[in-house]
């Protein structure tokens, strides 16, 4: 059975997320402890005892989701379950690179903590907004965005019929009206104000590029698909340029799902809090075998499923 691990990005966090896994498995506890020692922050306390407001700060969100997903990976590994291929949405790509062996755990934790700090330091004010467009082809969305005055662009291609647009408030509102007129089933304003995965993060992208200047990347042992174009990472890739470009280019999860399907994946496993990526896969691939792992019950279900196959 060919297994793909999919790692969630920012927005899936919630206080107490996956705490039953932490409570039951020493392997998970060790991951939280190791990460806390590396960055000097009690990650378990952050995940399980902080307020939603505190956890929603980008600097806290990114490291919390990363460690939650990696802790679950360690538990699954103890059961002999490893992916044949993995990927993730935005932040989740870093989780995939660590799980895939391209970035060491220590350096990966530091890198994600720094990325979260850089992104939180961006002062976007209330100038921007994002909206999810459902039920319209991405090519039509691209076409309409180009017609709107001001700045509005696709930022996340979630699946074949859902794309997130981002830009100036007025521009997003104008585009939303035009998209509805063009046949979009729904346009939903998202609870985020940053123009993520657009050119407006160019300064943050450069800061990240400078930070990872001396980062050591290794030859991974698991195939990892890139957000920017759904192609696999290669040993001779310029990781520094790819990861900085990743911050200012749209996420092509639609292409990634198609690629995984073409790779004949038998089981899609979303590893971490929430059901976001599971939902995307189910929408695009109606008959896909999908499971999300965010509880002890889900781990036990996956273990039984793998044993049966």
- Give the integer Cα–Cα distance in Å for 72 and 64: 12
Residue 215 is predicted with a pLDDT of 80
Span 37-52, pLDDT tens digits? 999 999 999 999 999 9
- What does the DSSP assignment read for 243-308? HHHHTTS-EEHHHHHHHHHHTT-SEEEEESSSSHHHHHHHHH-TT--EEEE-SHHHHHHHHHHHHH
Q: Is 156 exposed, middle or buried (0-12, 13-18, 19+ CB in 10 A)?
A: buried
197, 205, 246, 278: the catalytic one is 197
Host H or E run for residue 233 = none
Q: Does domain 128-189 have CATH number 3.20.20.70?
A: no
Residue 71 has pLDDT above 80, yes or no: yes
Span 106-141, pLDDT tens digits? 999 999 999 999 999 987 878 999 999 999 999 999
Two structure tokens written together for 248 = 């200012």
Residue 193 has pLDDT above 70, yes or no: no
Measured from the Cβ of residue 229, the count of other Cβ atoms closer than 10 Å reads 12
Average of per-residue pLDDT values in the chain = 95
Residue 214 has pLDDT above 80, yes or no: no
50, 64, 69, 90: the catalytic one is 90
- Give the integer Cα–Cα distance in Å for 236 and 218: 10
- Give the integer Cα–Cα distance in Å for 288 and 281: 7
Judged by DSSP in three states, 201 sits in helix
Residue 144 has pLDDT above 90, yes or no: yes
- Give the integer Cα–Cα distance in Å for 304 and 259: 27
Residue 296 has pLDDT above 90, yes or no: yes
Active-site annotation holds for 275: no
Instruction: With cut-offs at 50, 70 and 90, classify the pLDDT of residue 11.
Output: confident
| Nearest residue to 166 via CA among 180, 187, 152, 149 | 152
Q: CA distances (Å), 46 to each of 28, 55, 308, in order?
A: 15, 7, 37
Active-site annotation holds for 197: yes
Q: What is the pTM of this model?
A: 0.95
CATH code linked to domain 3-123+199-308: 3.40.366.10
Q: Is residue 74 within 8 Å of 27, Cβ to Cβ?
A: yes
How does strand 85-88 pair with strand 3-7? parallel
- Give the integer Cα–Cα distance in Å for 55 and 74: 23
Write down the domain spans for the chain: 3-123+199-308, 128-189
């Amino acid at each position: 059975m060919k297994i793909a691990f999919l790692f969630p990005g920012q927005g899936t966090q919630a206080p107490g997320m996956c705490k039953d896994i932490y409570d039951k498995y020493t392997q998970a506890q060790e991951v939280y402890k190791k990460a806390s020692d590396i960055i000097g922050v009690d990650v378990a306390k952050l995940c399980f005892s902080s307020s939603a407001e505190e956890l929603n700060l980008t600097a806290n969100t990114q490291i919390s989701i990363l460690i939650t997903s990696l802790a679950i990976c360690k538990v699954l590994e103890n059961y002999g379950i490893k992916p044949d291929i993995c990927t993730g949405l935005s932040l989740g790509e870093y989780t995939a690179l660590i799980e895939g062996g391209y970035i060491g755990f220590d350096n990966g934790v530091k890198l994600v903590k720094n990325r979260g700090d850089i992104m939180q330091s961006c002062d976007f004010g209330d100038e921007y907004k994002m909206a999810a467009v459902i039920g319209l082809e991405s090519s039509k969305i691209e076409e309409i965005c180009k017609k709107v005055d001001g700045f509005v662009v696709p930022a996340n291609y979630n699946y074949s019929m859902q794309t997130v647009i981002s830009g100036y408030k007025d521009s997003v509102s104008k585009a939303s009206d035009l998209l509805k007129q063009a046949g979009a089933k729904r346009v939903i304003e998202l609870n985020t104000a940053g123009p993520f995965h657009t050119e407006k993060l160019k300064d943050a992208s450069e800061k990240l590029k400078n930070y990872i200047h001396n980062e050591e990347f290794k030859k991974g042992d698991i195939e990892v698909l890139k957000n920017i174009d759904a192609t696999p990472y290669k040993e001779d890739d310029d990781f520094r340029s790819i990861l900085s470009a990743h911050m200012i280019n749209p996420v092509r999860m639609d292409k990634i799902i198609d690629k995984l399907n073409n790779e004949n994946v038998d089981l899609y496993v979303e590893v971490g809090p929430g059901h976001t990526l599971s939902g995307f896969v189910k929408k695009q691939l109606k008959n896909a075998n999908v499971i999300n792992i965010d509880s002890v019950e889900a781990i036990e279900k996956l273990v039984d499923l793998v044993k049966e196959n």
